[in-house]
A = this chain, B = another copy of it.
């Protein structure tokens, strides 16, 4: 009886019990008993009761890192980000009903929800780090990297949530559309802002007093 089978059997037992009695209504003793292992072994394998719900998080992070590290040329980088996010989506799709069970749990137990969000933030952090590396030296590089990473993760989550709720038949097509929307946000760099006017006002005076200047400036631009 290999260690991997035992691990999978324990995860299965945990999900079963969570469905039957709820997360808080299930003790680690219950899980260990149904899985046919000792309580000590459970904590040795998973570290905590929460971790049994997110068992493949680390390996998924490693996959993403590998995908991003493989994007060496400028042309392929945007694609690499989208593809790395797609890896996450594919992982969930492959899990099927397990992913939906986890979703139900994270919706109902605040601590689990926080844990899942924190996990997503790790993906985002990975994206941010790599994008920032690519943008190095550009103005507002750090902020733009964060914004892009957040947008990609948000787009991914949007599609994933739709699938988890059973609202879509073709999540991959949704994902493609979402990534188009995301990339469109960043398509034009800071230098291609024709037709856009940005005004930053910082003044202790009443805004009315500067309105004439605002008008004048806008008219002069047009």
Contact = CB atoms under 8 A, between A and B. Distances in A.
Interface of A: 110, 113-115, 117-118, 121, 140, 142-144, 146-147, 150-151, 153-155, 157-158, 173, 176-178, 180-188, 190, 193-208, 210-211, 213-215, 217-219, 221-222
Contacts of A182: 147
B195 A195 contact: yes
A193 B185 CA distance: 10
Contacts of A203: 201-207
B114 A143 contact: no
B158 A154 contact: no
Contacts of A180: 198, 200
A195 B196 contact: yes
A182 B211 CA distance: 24
Contacts of A181: 140, 143-144, 147
Contacts of A201: 199-203, 207
Nearest to A118: B114
Q: Count the copies.
A: 2
B202 A213 contact: no
A185 B187 contact: no
Query: Lowest 5 A-B CB distances belong to which pairs?
Result: A114-B118, A150-B154, A194-B195, A114-B114, A207-B210
A188 to B, nearest CB: 6
Contacts of A184: 190, 193, 196, 198
A186 to B, nearest CB: 7
A176 to B, nearest CB: 6
Contacts of A110: 118
A214 to B, nearest CB: 6
Given A117-B114, A151-B150, A213 B208 contact: yes
Given A196-B187, A211-B214, A146 B158 contact: yes
Contact of A118 (B113, B173, B211, B217): B113
Nearest to A179: B200
A188 B222 CA distance: 17
